[in-house]
Amino acid sequence: MTDIPMPKYRQIADDLLKKIQTGIYPINALIPKEIELATFYGVSRPTIRQAIQLLVNDGYLDRRKKRGTIVRQRKIVQEFTHVIASYDQEMDNHGLIPMTKVIMFTTEVADNEVCERLNLPIDSIVFKLVRLRYANDQPIVIVTTYIPYSVVPHLSDYDFTAVSLYETLAANNTAVVRVQRRLEVIKADETVANLLNVQQNEPLFYFHTIGHTQDSGAIEYSIAKYRGDLNSFNIDVSL
């Protein structure tokens, strides 16, 4: 069987991709103009356009009117809509380096919404944990989590910049085994925009999560605000 040679435009696309992945063309940088690339590779401009379009389709490049073609940050395809896993596990699965910054960790009197979500009496005490989570040094999501104080009173002994909340809950015999999630899309206010390094009013994915233990008790209520430009979500539906 005769090997079919790879089309020239695909060879060029592969070479451009290597330059993106090695940082020769970094994120948000303009790649050379079509005429410059055509001269460099010794091909026609239509061939260059085909190569660029492949990388646009795969999410590596973005054409901008009056600016040219820039290297874009590929979106992280999140699986947590149908898999219960820690954030660190998800990032590891994508080959990304996770990091967590704790913005706030305190106890407070739960408001009516939190009491309702966690099925607690009015004015119950809860832990409030606010974390800014990163992937490869990029802020990805800010998560505010409420945990009933009466169920895990020693939660403040843990450093959640270094340990997983879900693993900690499991170690305290309150493992999350089932979750309910609701998705909305909201606009970033000034505070969240600054934390996530986006423009004010940029769209965010806004998830409400209630985590349940084996006995169906609600142990966690979280609200997560994901950057719309860096995240997408897989949702599996079976009949």
Confidence of residue 4 (pLDDT cuts 50, 70, 90): low
Question: Do residue 173 and residue 217 come from a single domain?
Answer: yes
pLDDT digits (tens, 9 = 90+) for 185-201: 999 999 999 999 888 99
Least confident span in 72-76, 135-139, 167-171, 210-214: 72-76
Cα(166)–Cα(110) distance, integer angstroms = 21
In a domain, 123, yes or no: yes
Indicate whether 142 and 220 sit together in one domain: yes
This model's pTM is above 0.95: no
Lowest mean pLDDT among 39-43, 216-220, 228-232: 228-232
Report yes or no on 91 lying in a domain: yes
Are 52 and 128 members of one domain? no
CATH number of domain containing 183:
3.40.1410.10
Confirm whether 238 is domain-assigned.
no
Determine the pLDDT at residue 1.
44
Q: What six digits make up the tokens of 50? A: 């085909």
Q: What is the pLDDT of residue 239?
A: 58
Instruction: Answer whether residue 82 shows pLDDT above 50.
Output: no
Q: Is residue 2 part of a domain?
A: no
Judge contact between 226 and 141, C-beta under 8 A: yes
Residue 239 lies in a domain: no
Q: Which region among 3-17, 61-75, 127-141 has the lowest average model confidence (pLDDT)? A: 61-75
The CATH number given to whatever domain includes residue 13 is 1.10.10.10
* Strand spans (E) along the chain: 61-64, 68-71, 76-78, 98-109, 125-135, 138-148, 178-187, 203-212, 218-227, 231-233
Answer yes or no: do 110 and 39 share one domain. Answer: no
* pLDDT at residue number 21: 80
In this predicted structure, which of 69-78, 120-129, 206-215, 217-226 has the lowest mean pLDDT? 69-78
Both tokens assigned to 64: 């901008």
103 and 193 share one domain: yes
Q: What is the DSSP letter of 85?
A: -
Q: Which of 40, 71, 102 is the last residue of a domain?
A: 71
69 within 8 A of 62, measured Cβ to Cβ: yes
Mean pLDDT of the chain: 87
pLDDT of residue 77: 63
How many alpha carbons lie under 13 Å from residue 112 in its C-beta half-sphere? 0
- Domain identity same for 63 and 172: no
Burial of 126 (0-12, 13-18, 19+ CB in 10 A): buried
Is residue 224 one of the residues assigned to a domain? yes
Can you give the residue range of the structural domain that contains 121? 76-233
Whether residue 152 is contained in a domain is answered as yes
**Mean pLDDT of all residues in 37-47:** 94
pLDDT value of residue 94:
64
State whether 64 and 87 are in the same domain: no
Helix (H), strand (E) counts: the chain: 7, 10
Half-sphere CA count of 156, side-chain side, radius 13 A:
12
Q: What is the pLDDT confidence band of residue 136, given thresholds at 50, 70 and 90?
A: confident
pLDDT recorded at residue 8: 92
Question: Which of 46-55, 89-98, 225-234 shows the lowest per-residue confidence on average (mean pLDDT)?
Answer: 89-98
In a domain, 97, yes or no: yes
* Domain limit, last residue, from 36, 55, 71: 71
Q: Based on the fold, state whether residues 54 and 80 are members of the same structural domain.
A: no
Q: Are residues 86 and 17 in the same domain?
A: no
Q: Residue holding tokens 């490869």?
A: 136
Are 97 and 210 found together in one domain? yes
Say if residues 124 and 110 touch (Cβ distance below 8 Å).
yes
Domains in the chain, number: 2
- 154-182 mean pLDDT: 92
Task: State the pLDDT at residue 185.
Answer: 93
What single-letter amino acid sits at 37?
A: L
- What average pLDDT score do residues 60-77 get? 80
CA dihedral 132, 136, 137, 138 (to 10 degrees): -70
Question: Are 81 and 67 members of one domain?
Answer: no
pLDDT at 89 over 70: yes
Claim to verify: residue 187 and residue 96 sit in the same structural domain: yes
At residue 238, the pLDDT reads 56
